[in-house]
Amino acid sequence: MSEIFGIPVPVLAGQLMLGLVNGSFYAMLSLGLAVIFGLLNVINFSHGTMYMMGAYAAWMLMNWLGVGYWWSLAIVPVVMALVGIAVERLFLRWIYHLDHLYGLLLTIGFAWVMEGVYRDQFGSGGQSYPAPDSLAGVTDLGFMILPDYRGWVVLASLGTCFATWYLIERTRLGAYLRAATENPRIVQAFGINVPLMLTLTYGFGIALAGLAGVLAAPVIQVTPLMGSNVIIVVFAVVVIGGLGSILGAIVSGIALGLLEGLTKVLYPEASSTVVFVVMALVLLFKPAGLFGKEE
């Protein structure tokens, strides 16, 4: 009866939904990476760590200060933006004139130090974080049972991604960002404070990672390694979408999450490698990425 490829529809739909949830996190994280790389020329390896710190910030707010999920959703991105601003001011600022490699090395160092600190504080076992009561239920869609929180995660991150895309591609502030991505020196010669733009952009990218961390906390185990686990996939997503492409980051994040979900049903053995197979194919046939511009 209701089977596709010999798989019951509820199972398939459930896995695709999980894929969509993962894809939402991939999209938010690769979006931040793309914006940061575009303007600052920094390959921000610590992006996953910032996502982990966002999830822990929500956990700490709840368990140490009794602050609930909805407040965390507002507070954590602000706190993480401040963390990002501090990192940019204290460290990244000094290496812009050097090769990409130095930014990568610096952010790897930051990632490892922070992971060490969190492992020391929280152990590597992991914490669980409850979904808010209002989203703890499920909705019967007929062909599947949808946990409300998963639906919310997908809507919230798609909304955030769309708002970010709109901000960058359709507003005056975004025009500054696009122009400075192309030619920062000329933009600065027009009287725009480009160094400040770099700081705020990094802060914004980190805020996105922090927000993804809060959204993820109720659907995953919050562990010090959750960032490292996801960042490699996110880098693959960025390469597939095209380094620096805003739309590419969003679309390929969602698409690859779905593909992973589908692979889990059809051929589970390949589910953790399928993203990298796609990356290899894209690099072979369209090296600039699906949405990137060939130089």
Which residues of the shown chain bind other proteins in the complex (CB under 8 A)? 172, 175-176, 178-179, 181-183, 185-195
Least distance in angstroms from the C-beta of 172 to other proteins: 7
Nearest-angstrom CA–CA distance, 30 and 21? 14
Cβ-based nearer residue to other proteins, 10 or 195: 195
Question: What are the helix and strand counts (H, E) for the chain?
Answer: 11, 4
CB 293, min distance to other proteins, A? 9
Cβ closer to other proteins: 93 or 119? 93
Q: How far is the CB of 75 from other proteins (least distance, A)?
A: 32
CB 295 to other proteins: min, Å: 12
The rounded distance, in Å, linking the Cα atoms of 98 and 75 is: 34
Which among 226, 200, 253, 212 has a CA at the least distance from the CA of 128?
226
- Cite the DSSP H helix spans in 41-96: 47-65, 69-90
| 152: exposed, middle or buried (Cβ count in 10 Å: 0-12, 13-18, 19+) | middle
Would you say 128 or 171 has its CB closer to other proteins?
171
- The number of residues making up the chain comes to 295
Q: Which is nearer to other proteins, 189 or 281 (CB)?
A: 189
3-state secondary structure string across 223-262? CCCHHHHHHHHHHHHHHHHCCCCHHHHHHHHHHHHHHHHH
Nearer to other proteins, 188 or 228 (CB): 188
Give phi and psi for 47, each to the nearest 5.
-60, -40
Q: Give min distance, CB of 176 to other proteins, in A.
A: 7
Report whether 56 contacts 225 (CB < 8 A).
no
User: Residue 175 CB, nearest distance to other proteins (Å)?
Assistant: 5
Output DSSP code: residue 42. -
E strand or H helix at 281 = helix 274-285
Nearer of residues 132 and 195 to other proteins, judged by Cβ = 195
**Which C-beta is closer to other proteins: that of 210 or that of 244?**
244
Smallest gap from residue 199 Cβ to other proteins (A): 14
